Chain A
Amino acid sequence: MMPAVAMYVAPRLVHLSAVDVAIVAFYFSLVLAIGFYLKGRANTGEDFFMAGREMTAWIAGLSFLSANLGSLELMGWAAAAYQYGILATHWYWIGAIPAMLFLALVMMPFYYISRTHSVPGYLKLRFGESSRALSAISFAFMTVLMSGINMYSMALVMKVVLGWDINFSIWVSSLTVAVYVALGGLRSAIFNEVLQFILIWAGALLIPILGLIEVGGWSNLKLQIAHNASAEYTHLWSTLGSFDNNPMGIHWTGIVFGLAFVISCGYWTTDFLVVQRVLAAKDLRSAKMAPIIGAAFKMLVPFIVILPGLLALAVLPVKLSGEAAAVGSGGHSYNEVLPLMLARYCGPGLLGLGITALIAGFMSGMAGNVSAFTTVWTYDIYRALINKNAPDAHYVSMGRWCTIVGVLISVGTAYLVMSFLSIMDYVQALFSFFIAPLFGTVILGMLWKRATGPGGFWGLLAGTLSSIGMWAWVKLDPSALRYVALSPNARDMAENMYRALWSWIVCVGVTMVVSYMTKPKPDVELSGLVYGVTAIPREDEVPWYQRPALWAAVVGVVFVVLNIIFW
C-alpha cells in the first residue's frame, strides 16, 4: 500500500546531536523493557498469539492503525503527495475509511463469534482445509517477503538520511523487534505499536504546524502550489473525470471500484497483519469499536503525511525529482521530502524525535508482519498440516522460535533484495495478487450461505491465477494495458486498481458457479460463520452513545464532509 522508496545513496541529509542520539537510544531501551516486562504474561497460546483477547477498544484500535503506519508508508506517501498532490489522500480516506467501517459493523461479528485465531482459520471453518492452506501459505510467504523488503528500504533510508551503515540498521532494528515479540508475543507487539503510534504523532506533528505558519495558512499554500506546480494538486476529485487530466493518470472509477471497493476492503478486512490486532479485543463491542477508532485517526494521518508533501511544493527552495534524475543531478528525490522537511524545521531534540518516529514506524510495521506470520505459521500451517496434537506449550515455544526465524528470513530477504534490486519493482504487484481474491472469498463466505467449500477454494485459486495472468500479460505485451486498465495511458497504480477489480470479479464468479454445482453445507454447520444463520449479540443494554453504529456514522459523516471540502 505504498510507493517504492529511494534506491540510491546520497550524502546524509541531517546530523544528529548528542541529545538526538539519547532520544533514539531511550526509545530502543523502552521497547525492549516492555518486551521483558511482558514476558511473564505470554505463557499460553491464547496469551502469546492473541494477547489473551484482553485488549480494550482504544489499544486494539490504535494498534490496528499503527501496524499499517510503517515509516515507508509515511515517507512514501509524503513523496507521493509532492509528486501527485492531494490525490494521494485517497489512499487514506476513500481507500481506507469505508473498508474499516465495513470491517467493524459487518465482518467483525463473524470473525469474533467464530473465535478464529486468524483469517485463514476462518476460511478453514467456513470452506475447509484446502482454502485455509492456500491462503495461509501465500500469506506467510508474502509477509516475510514484504517484511524483508521494508527492512532493506528502511536501512537504505537511514543511510541516505543519517549516513548509517545498512548492515547496522538492518540488524539492530530487526533484532530489537525479534526480542520484544519473541518475549511478549502479540501483547508486546500491540503495546509497542501503541507507543510507536504516539511517538509517530509526537515526532511528525510539528512539521505541518510550522509549515502552515511559514506559508501563512491553507489558502496561501494553495496559491503557492498553483504558482509552483498546478492548481490541480489541491483537488481530490475534480480532476478524475479523465485519465489524462491528473498527474496520477487514473480515472475516478479506478479509485472508487478498484481502490475503495476491492484493494482497500481486501487489505483492511482480510489482511491478517491488521485484522489480528482487532481479534485481540476483549469483547465484541471492543472489537467493533477498534476499527472505528482506527478509522477516526486514519482520517487525520494526511495531516502528518500528505500536508508535508504539499508544503514542500510551496517552501522548498530545490525542486525534487525521480530517483534516476536525482542520481544523475546529485539532487534530492521525492522520497526525501519528509526528512527534508524535518531538517528544515527541527533542531536538536526535535530532530531526534522525528527520526525516532521514522524508526518507530518501521518497527511497528515489522512487528505486525512478524507476529501475524508467527500466528499463521503456528496455527494454520504447523498445527494444521505438520503436528496436530502437540500440547499448548509446544505451540507457544514454536511461536517464539518462529518469531526469531521469521525475522532471520526477513533479514535474508533484505540481503536478497540488495543483490537483486528488480524484486522491488514486483513486490507490490505480488502482494496484490492475493488480497483482492481473498476479499472475494471471505465476503462471500460471510454473507452468502450457499457458498460451498469447493466454491471457496476454486474461486480463491482462480482469482489469484487470473491476477497473476493479467500482470504477466501486460509485462509481455504492454499494449494489453488498454484492456486490463481500460486505457493505454493508465499508470502503474491505475493498473493495480483495475487488475484487483477483475481478479475479485473472477473470484466471485467462479465461487458462485462452483457453489451452485456442489452440495451446500447444512445451516447448522454455518452457525457463527455466515449472515442469516448467526445470532449477532444485540446491544440493547449498551447506552446509545457507546454503540459502534453511532460512532461509525459520526466517522462516516466527517469522511464525507472532508471529501466535499477538498473536492
Chain B
Amino acid sequence: MRDRVIPIWFFIGISLLVNGILIAGAGVWEIFNPPANPVVLFHLHASMWWGAVLLLLGIVYCVRFAPGRQS
C-alpha cells in the first residue's frame, strides 16, 4: 500500500465486537427474563455463548489490526 490504510480486518474486528456485545447482552438478559415462547434449545443459551465468541474475536482483531500497530 502507498500509505497507511486501515486494514479491512480492523473493520471486521469492530463489527464482531459490536455484534458480540449486543448478542451476548441479549443472551444474558434472556437468562433473567426468559421469553414466553423460547426458541428450540433455549437452555443452551446460544445467544450468550455465540455473542461471547464474537466479542472475543472482535477484541483480538481490533487489537491485532489496530491502525497504530501497522508496520
Q: Which residues of A contact B (CB under 8 A)?
A: 17, 19, 22-23, 26-27, 30, 34, 37, 41, 52, 54, 59, 191, 194-195, 198-199, 202, 206, 210, 213-214, 315, 343-350, 352-353, 356
B8 touches A59 (CB 8 A): yes
B41 touches A345 (CB 8 A): yes
Whole-angstrom distance between the alpha carbons of A22 and B1 in the complex? Answer: 34
Size of interface on B: residues with Cβ below 8 Å to A: 31
Q: Does B22 contact A (CB under 8 A)?
A: yes
Q: Does B35 contact A (CB under 8 A)?
A: yes
Looking at the complex, which one of B2, B8, B18, B35 makes contact with A347 (CB distance below 8 Å)?
Answer: B35
A198 touches B15 (CB 8 A): yes
B46 vs chain A, min Cβ distance (A): 6
Most chain A CB within 10 A, of B6, B41, B44, is at B41
Looking at the complex, which one of A195, A202, A347 makes contact with B47 (CB distance below 8 Å)?
Answer: A347
B40 touches A214 (CB 8 A): yes
A54 touches B1 (CB 8 A): yes
Interface residues of B in 12-55 (CB under 8 A from A): 12, 14-16, 18-19, 22-27, 30, 35, 38-42, 44, 46-47, 50-51, 54
- Given A195-B8, A206-B50, A214-B41: A349 and B15 within 8 A (CB)? no
Chain B residues near A353 (CB-CB < 8 A): 19, 23
Q: Which residues of B contact A (CB under 8 A)?
A: 1-2, 5-6, 8, 11-12, 14-16, 18-19, 22-27, 30, 35, 38-42, 44, 46-47, 50-51, 54
Most chain B CB within 10 A, of A17, A214, A346, is at A346
- Given A41-B5, A202-B19, A344-B39: A349 and B26 within 8 A (CB)? yes
**Apart from the given pairs A199-B19, A210-B40, A348-B26, 17 other A-B contacts in the complex at a CB distance below 8 Å:** A19-B22, A19-B25, A26-B15, A30-B11, A34-B11, A37-B6, A41-B5, A195-B11, A202-B16, A206-B50, A213-B44, A315-B40, A346-B47, A347-B30, A349-B25, A350-B47, A350-B50
Which secondary structure dominates where chain B touches chain A? helix
16 CB < 8 A contacts A-B: A19-B26, A30-B14, A30-B15, A41-B5, A191-B8, A195-B15, A210-B41, A210-B46, A214-B40, A345-B46, A346-B46, A347-B35, A347-B46, A348-B26, A348-B30, A349-B23
A27 touches B15 (CB 8 A): yes
Chain B residues near A191 (CB-CB < 8 A): 8, 11
Chain B residues near A347 (CB-CB < 8 A): 26-27, 30, 35, 38-39, 42, 46-47
B22 touches A345 (CB 8 A): no
In the complex, residue of chain B having the shortest beta-carbon distance to the beta carbon of A341: B40
B52 vs chain A, min Cβ distance (A): 12
Chain A residues near B40 (CB-CB < 8 A): 210, 214, 315, 344-345
Chain A residues near B15 (CB-CB < 8 A): 26-27, 30, 195, 198-199
Chain A residues near B26 (CB-CB < 8 A): 17, 19, 347-350
B43 vs chain A, min Cβ distance (A): 11
B54 touches A202 (CB 8 A): yes
Most chain B CB within 10 A, of A37, A41, A214, A348, is at A348
Chain A residues near B14 (CB-CB < 8 A): 30
A79 vs chain B, min Cβ distance (A): 20
B44 touches A210 (CB 8 A): yes
A198 touches B35 (CB 8 A): no
Chain B residues near A37 (CB-CB < 8 A): 6
B48 vs chain A, min Cβ distance (A): 9
Looking at the complex, which one of A17, A41, A198, A356 makes contact with B16 (CB distance below 8 Å)?
Answer: A198
Whole-angstrom distance between the alpha carbons of A378 and B11 in the complex? Answer: 30
- Given A214-B40, A345-B39, A350-B46: A194 and B12 within 8 A (CB)? yes
Whole-angstrom distance between the alpha carbons of A215 and B42 in the complex? Answer: 15
Chain B residues near A345 (CB-CB < 8 A): 39-41, 46
Whole-angstrom distance between the alpha carbons of A265 and B7 in the complex? Answer: 32
Chain A residues near B18 (CB-CB < 8 A): 26
Whole-angstrom distance between the alpha carbons of A343 and B37 in the complex? Answer: 11
Chain B residues near A199 (CB-CB < 8 A): 15, 19
Chain B residues near A23 (CB-CB < 8 A): 19, 22-23
Whole-angstrom distance between the alpha carbons of A356 and B25 in the complex? Answer: 18
Looking at the complex, which one of B11, B12, B27 makes contact with A349 (CB distance below 8 Å)?
Answer: B27
A343 vs chain B, min Cβ distance (A): 8
